[in-house]
């Protein structure tokens, strides 16, 4: 009796070639936003008040890693445990569409800016009692500064002018 072992790689190729044939073609992905130029990145950073306009982008990216388990930052990205943060600057508190905010955030009457984000990130529970964010905050002021600067550059371009408060 002959073994099929010599033909196993050929059988694997034939089997894989059949995968994905038939059915509907995958929907095209939305076009990616063009990458920012260095000048655009610098302009966004410069648009922040001091001390945020001197933020360390690399440290901000690293510090934001703690936030990624709950937040996305892409245009049209999904809400997760926390809301998508694309365009957060100038957005009314508790106003990102499709996210189920606490009453405290839905009823808050302010738009997010660098200082409010700093106060929030220092300690979300004391900044706005009754919110449902479980993250205890970033105690280091330089980490907060850097995260805010990084968020502005990563999520702040291409957005409309700041809006008045609206429910998220």
Q: Does a structural domain hold residue 167? A: no
Q: Does a structural domain hold residue 127? A: yes
Counted domains in the chain? 1
Q: Does a structural domain hold residue 70? A: yes
In angstroms, the CA 123 to CA 4 distance is: 64
Structural domain range at position 49: 36-155
Q: Does a structural domain hold residue 60? A: yes
Task: Check which CATH number belongs to the domain holding 79 and give it.
Answer: 1.10.760.10
76: which residues sit within 8 A by CB, 6+ positions away?
Answer: 30, 86
* Under 8 Å between Cβ of 101 and 91: no
pLDDT tens digits for range 105-164: 999 999 999 999 999 999 999 999 999 999 999 999 999 999 999 999 999 754 433 333
Q: Does a structural domain hold residue 110? A: yes
The reported pTM is 0.73
Long-range contacts, 19-24 (Cβ 8 Å, 24+): none
């Amino acid at each position: 009796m002959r073994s099929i072992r010599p033909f196993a790689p050929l059988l694997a190729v034939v089997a894989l070639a059949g995968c994905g044939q038939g059915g509907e073609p995958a929907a095209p992905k939305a076009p990616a936003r063009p990458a920012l130029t260095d000048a655009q990145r610098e302009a966004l950073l410069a648009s922040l008040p001091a001390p945020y306009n001197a933020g360390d982008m690399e440290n901000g990216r690293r510090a934001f890693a703690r936030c990624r388990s709950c937040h996305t930052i892409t245009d049209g990205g999904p809400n997760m445990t926390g809301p998508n943060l694309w365009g957060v600057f100038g957005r009314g508190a508790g106003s990102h569409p499709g996210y189920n905010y606490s009453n405290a955030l839905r009823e808050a009457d302010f738009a997010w800016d660098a200082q409010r984000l700093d106060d929030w990130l220092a300690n979300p529970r004391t900044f706005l009692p009754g919110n449902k964010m479980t993250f205890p905050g970033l105690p280091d002021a330089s980490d907060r500064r850097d995260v805010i600067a990084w968020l502005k550059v990563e999520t702040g371009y291409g957005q409309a002018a700041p809006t008045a408060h609206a429910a998220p």
